[in-house]
Amino acid sequence: METPREEPLYWDSNRRPTAVLFIIASVTAVLGLFQWQSSGDPTLLILGMGVSAYSWLTNAKSYLIFRERMVIIFGAPRKRIIPFDQISHVEFLSLPTMGDRVRVRMISGRAIMLQTKDTEAFHDRLDDALNDFHGPRQEYPLDRSDSEDEEQA
């Protein structure tokens, strides 16, 4: 008997449809294979395969929003699941050199930058999902230990 899969509330893909670095590194690996066959030096092959693997595992492919979590899908088999109870708030950033981004602020104070195709819609949907999950809350509380230290001082 199959268990029903939960459908995401919203999903978006990365702004870049293919990872340019992955393609360049794969071409380098193929050229390294030819070099290895002709001269016996596998350096270029190893370098190309290493950068390809790094690019595959670190560049996000898609972003999914569920009721209680956000999931970032990287190259198979890697994915990152971020429960909403670890997220403080989301911010929409319009940066002149890097374009529009969504910054997810964690309760610990750390931040994750997301580069989605439709940045504004993703930000709005993620913010709505966070508000539905948390209910009425203070405006963007970060790590609670910092605010307690300030009150005592």
Mean pLDDT by 10 residues, the chain (153 residues): 80 81 89 92 92 87 95 91 94 89 94 94 94 75 49 47
Q: Is the dihedral of CA 146, 149, 151, 153 positive or negative?
A: negative
Residue 57 is predicted with a pLDDT of 87
The DSSP-derived string for 15-35 is SSSS-HHHHHHHHHHHHHHHH
CA-closest candidate to residue 66, choices 6, 139, 137, 4: 6
Q: What is the pTM of this model?
A: 0.78
Residue 87 is predicted with a pLDDT of 94
CA-closest candidate to residue 12, choices 93, 126, 127, 122: 122
At 102, the amino acid letter reads V
Q: What does the angle CA 14 – CA 117 – CA 83 come to, to the nearest 5 degrees?
A: 60
Phi, psi dihedrals of residue 134, rounded to the nearest 5°: -80, -25
Residue 2 is predicted with a pLDDT of 63
Q: Which two tokens stand for residue 8?
A: 């995401």
